[in-house]
Every structure is written in C-alpha cells, then in structure tokens.
Amino acid sequence: MSSSEPVAAAAAPPWRTAPHLPGAFRRLYAGEMRLVLGRRRNQALLGVLAVVPLVIGVAVRLSTPRNGDGPQFLSQIAGNGLFLVFTALTVALPFFLPLVVGVVAGDSIAGEAGTGTLRYLLAVPVTRGRLLAVKALGVASCTALAVLVVALVGLLAGAVLFGLHDVTLLSGDTVSLADGLLRTVGVVVFVVVALFGLAAGGLFVSTLTENAIAAMATTIGIAVFSALLDAVPELRPIAGALLTHHWLGFGELLRTAPDGGALLRWSLLHLAYVAVFLSLAWARLQTKDVTS
C-alpha cells in the first residue's frame, strides 16, 4: 500500500522515531493495576471474597457439622484450620470467584470502550497488541489476587480459630504441616490456572461490546452455563472438556500420591481455553472499529 506512494518515498520526513523507554511496559501495567484496584467496586468484591472463609470458619466454630454434610472438607476444619482454605475455595469456586473474574475481565476492554477512554489509550498510542497484553496480564493478576484473598484469609482464620496441625489426607495418611502447606500452594496454583480459562473468556467477550455490564454478565453466564451443562447426564461423554468441569479437581492434591498426570491434563485443558480465547480476543481487537 505504502510502496505505491512514490511521493512519500522520495521525501522521507526528517524526524526520527522516538524510542520506547526502558520499563515502559511495566509502567503501563502498573497504571492498569492502579486503575483496577483503585475502583471501589473491585475492592468491595475482594472484600466479599475475604468474607467467605470468615463466615465458614465462624459457622463451624459455633456448630459441629455432622460428617458428610455440607461442602468438601467441611468436616475436617474443626480438626485442622488448614482445611478452611480448601472448604472456602470449594464454596467460592462455583459463584463468588467467577463473579469477581467476570466483573474484572468483562470490564477490562468494554469498560474503556464504554467510557470512551479506549480511543484515547489507542491514540497515545498503546498499540492494540500491547493493550491486549496489558489487559490480559491485569486480569490474570486480579484472578490470582482473588484466589489468594480466599486462601490467605482462610489460612489466617483457620489458624486463629482451629490451629494448624499435621494434615490427615483423604486417604487417611497423615503428612507434616509443611507438606500440607506445600500442597496448599499447589491447590492455589491449580485453582488460579483453572480460573484463567474463564478470565480469558471474559477478556474476549469484553472486546465484543461497549457495554461493560453485558460483558460481565456474559462472562459469569459462561461459568454458570458450563456448570449447568456439566449437570446434564446426557452430556456426560463431553463433560470432561467443559470449562468448569475440573475446577474442583484440586482435591487430587490432598491424596497421598496425587495423580500428577491428571492434574497436568486438566491444567493443560484450562490453558488451552486461555489460548483459544486470547487468540479470538486478539483477532477481534485487531479489526475492531473504535467508534465509541
């Protein structure tokens, strides 16, 4: 296109391209995180996540649940506060965590388009590739932060309310507290990666619209819909490929000999979702007309 412009080629303008300064992407990322974490709404959502383990912890403290009742690991909490982390994650995974991920991811680009700030970011310029990179990194950071809030508050509350002890695994074996904590780190990483799939989906949805609320609702809807499909018996053969099917698979890490192959396969599935959604988001953003 440009090579067919002899005039332009003949007289190249005498200005030099300003170089990118070192640390430019880090500053862009820091600015993005300041923006997202500075929003009261997002702070409130993280607050809600912090409440989840607290409520469970206090409830368990005040009552003695019968074995087998309630969510995964609930009955073990009273004996070992560490299990509050796992219970809280189990409770937060179906809705509260997708809610936070959906809000942050859905808002990421649609929100900027809606307020019109997207056109000014692109005019700065933040090239579309960099924009997607920084938004993806921001959403990923918030996803990790959300899981960490649940886990850390759970750990703290568990320690205070019930104390931390050597861990009795699902198989009945007991391992040291250090081993238990290491497994907890593994659980957190697994859950974060699992949620990345949804986060990437939200980022893609966010490139489709200027309506942030619609993007948030759609993203949360994806998680709910996937869980719904998961519950349909006729779909059992394909259930294993659903976005949410393996989210609670972190329980595998609490067996004496975790099935590393399965954990890896599930995580790769989640990362495959990330790859697909990010590619779609990239393709969409490259060609998106910014008319808001």
Partner 1 sequence: MTSAAPATAAVPLGSPAGAAPGWSAVRTTGLTRRFGTHVAVDGVALEVPRGAVYGFLGPNGSGKTTTIRMLLGLIAADDGEIELLGRPMPERLADVLPRVGALIEGPAFHPHLSGASNLRRLDVSDATADPATSRARIGQALTRVGLTAAAGKRYRSYSLGMKQRLGLAAALLQPRDLLVLDEPTNGLDPQGTREVRHLIRDLAADGTTVLVSSHLLAEVEQVATHVGIMSAGRLLRQGPLTEVLADGVAVLRVTTPDLDAAGDVLGRLGLASVRTDAEQSCVQARLGNVLTEDVAAELHTAGVRLRGLTVERPDLETLFVSLTGEGFDVVE
Binding mask 229-268 for partner 1 (x = CB under 8 A): ----------------------------------------
Query: Minimum CB separation from partner 1 for residue 203, in Å?
Result: 18
Count of other CB atoms within 10 angstroms of residue 234: 8
Convert the chain into a string of H (helix), E (strand) and C (coil). Answer: CHHHCHHHHHCCCCCCCCCCCCCHHHHHHHHHHHHHHCCHHHHHHHHHHHHHHHHHHHHHHHCCCCCCCCCCCHHHHCCCCHHHHHHHHHHHCCCHHHHHHHHHHHHHHHHHHHHCHHHHHHHCCCCHHHHHHHHHHHHHHHHHHHHHHHHHHHHHHHHHHHCCCCEECCCCCEECHHHHHHHHHHHHHHHHHHHHHHHHHHHHHHHHCCCHHHHHHHHHHHHHHHHHHHCCHHHHHHHCCCCCCCHHHHHHHHCCCCCHHHHHHHHHHHHHHHHHHHHHHHHHHHHCCCCC
Query: Minimum CB separation from partner 1 for residue 165, in Å?
Result: 45
Query: Minimum CB separation from partner 1 for residue 104, in Å?
Result: 15
Closer by beta carbon to partner 1, 127 or else 171: 127
Closer by beta carbon to partner 1, 39 or else 284: 39
Query: Minimum CB separation from partner 1 for residue 126, in Å?
Result: 5
Closer by beta carbon to partner 1, 21 or else 62: 21
Q: Count residues contacting partner 1 (CB under 8 A)? A: 44
Whole-number CA gyration radius for the chain: 23
Closer by beta carbon to partner 1, 23 or else 79: 23
CB within 8 Å of 265: residues ≥ 6 apart: none
Count of other CB atoms within 10 angstroms of residue 47: 10
Closer by beta carbon to partner 1, 47 or else 240: 47
Measured distance CA(96)–CA(89) in Å, rounded: 10
Closer by beta carbon to partner 1, 35 or else 248: 35
Residues 91 to 150 in contact with partner 1, rule: CB under 8 A: 115-117, 119-127, 130
Binding mask 7-36 for partner 1 (x = CB under 8 A): xx-xxxx-x-xxxxx-xxx-xx-xx--xx-
Query: Minimum CB separation from partner 1 for residue 2, in Å?
Result: 4
Closer by beta carbon to partner 1, 38 or else 237: 38
Query: Minimum CB separation from partner 1 for residue 16, in Å?
Result: 9
Query: Minimum CB separation from partner 1 for residue 19, in Å?
Result: 7
Binding mask 37-76 for partner 1 (x = CB under 8 A): -xxx------------------------------------
Contact yes or no for 110/212 (Cβ under 8 A): yes
Closer by beta carbon to partner 1, 91 or else 216: 216
Question: Which residues make up the interface to partner 1 (CB under 8 A)?
Answer: 1-2, 5, 7-8, 10-13, 15, 17-21, 23-25, 27-28, 30-31, 34-35, 38-40, 115-117, 119-127, 130, 287, 289-291
